[in-house]
Structure 1
Amino acid sequence: MGRPREIIDCGDFTLRRWREQEDFAAAMALIEESLEHLRPWETWVAEHSAEHTRGFLARSGARWDEGEVFNYAVAAGDGRLLGMCQAYRGADPGGRRLGYWLHPGATGRGIATRAAAALTGEMFALPGVEFVEIAHDLANSASAAVPRRLGFAVAGRGPAAPPVPPAGSGIEVVWRLERPAADAAQPG
């Protein structure tokens, strides 16, 4: 089973694997500064605490090692954290799902789109990954813009699994991008 790179250079920012001990203070600050921005769309915000963040960082390392979830900090060139993104195994073993969020000061600059593009490329470099999906609530137009810009197609809509985020419609939209044909012909 392959693993993506731990550091992905995206020009003016990098995606880098979370470090359990070293990143705690920076992760806490990033989340604290982003709470009101995230609250409408992220249900985990209601459980935010130092203990929750420590658990997230510990689980990130373990899940990475298991090949199940690849959590990344989005870091500016000066090391300042801009957000988080992840890729995880979906219900179908041939697919991966992406998630992302940014500090409110980092939005509107194409960072989420570029991070999702870089992580999509990493997932397609892994053996056996045939498609990548991005899911979001129908009401979250900012999240919808990312897969649309990257050429993903809507693969389905249906009731969202509870809990529904405070600003959510309760309808989940799933976008999918298939492995490019040239890549599909390569043995995995």
Structure 2
Amino acid sequence: MERPRQIIECGDFVLRCWRGQSDFAPAFKLIEESLEHLRPWEPWVARHSERNTRDFLAKAESNWASGDVYNYAIAKDGTLIGMCQTYRGAEPRGRRMGYWLHPAATGQGIATRAVGAMVTEMFALPDVEYLEIAHDLANTSSAAIPRRLGFAGVLREPGTPPAAPSGSGIDVVWRLNRPTPPVTALPAAE
């Protein structure tokens, strides 16, 4: 099974796979500083703890090896500023994507460029036919990213419990299909 690159250069920032427990302190700090920013939209924030961060980092390597989850830290000038991931979807040829940034890193196009880099990386893998992004209907900031990247809104579905505090309980699902290669005309027969 082919895997994506573990480091993706994005100009002024980089996506890199997690480095196990050596990433604990910067990951925990990133989450701690982002809690109020994430709390309205991310139900997992209510369960945030040192232990959950350690468990997340402990599973990152095996999830990567199995292909279940490709989880990246977003780093700028050596400092973690966010996270993004892609994980197996409901169908074997599809993957879902997620992302979030430290509040000081928002509004700079970083999330759009990070997700765009992941889109390119995922479509370089032969077994990925489509990508999806799901977010709560009320989270208009998250909606801007798939819209900018050419995803089409395809579905509204009940959100996965527990619902986020500011959430509507309805997820919007966006989909982007693998681009089809251009058709090359055969030379005319003589």
TM-score by length of 2: 0.94
Over aligned residue pairs, what C-alpha RMSD do you find? 1.4
Choose 1 or 2 for highest CA Rg: 2
The answer for the alignment partner of 2:21 in structure 1 is 21
- Are positions 1:48 and 2:48 aligned together? yes
Paired with 1:65 and 1:123, the residues of 2 have a C-alpha distance of 15
SS at structure 1 position matched to 2:113: helix
The answer for the alignment partner of 1:186 in structure 2 is none
The alpha carbon displacement at 1:123 in A equals 0.7
Structure 1 spans left out of the alignment, 5+ residues: 184-188
Paired with 1:51 and 1:21, the residues of 2 have a C-alpha distance of 11
| Cα distance per residue 1:9-49 (max 9 Å; x no partner) | 00000000001121100001000000000000001101111
The alpha carbon displacement at 1:113 in A equals 0.3
The answer for the alignment partner of 1:132 in structure 2 is 131
SS at structure 2 position matched to 1:91: coil
1:68-83 to structure 2, matched below 5 A, reads 68-76=68-76, 78-83=77-82
The answer for the alignment partner of 1:87 in structure 2 is 86
The answer for the alignment partner of 2:147 in structure 1 is 148
The alpha carbon displacement at 1:155 in A equals 1.1
| Cα distance per residue 1:101-157 (max 9 Å; x no partner) | 000000000000000000011110111110010000000000000000000000101
The answer for the alignment partner of 1:12 in structure 2 is 12
Structure 2 spans left out of the alignment, 5+ residues: 183-190
Paired with 1:109 and 1:65, the residues of 2 have a C-alpha distance of 32
Paired with 2:96 and 2:121, the residues of 1 have a C-alpha distance of 12
Of all paired residues, the percent bearing the same amino acid is 67
Paired with 1:50 and 1:130, the residues of 2 have a C-alpha distance of 36
Paired letter, 1:180: P
| Cα distance per residue 1:65-89 (max 9 Å; x no partner) | 111100000000x201110000001
SS at structure 2 position matched to 1:129: coil
SS at structure 1 position matched to 2:161: coil
The answer for the alignment partner of 1:39 in structure 2 is 39
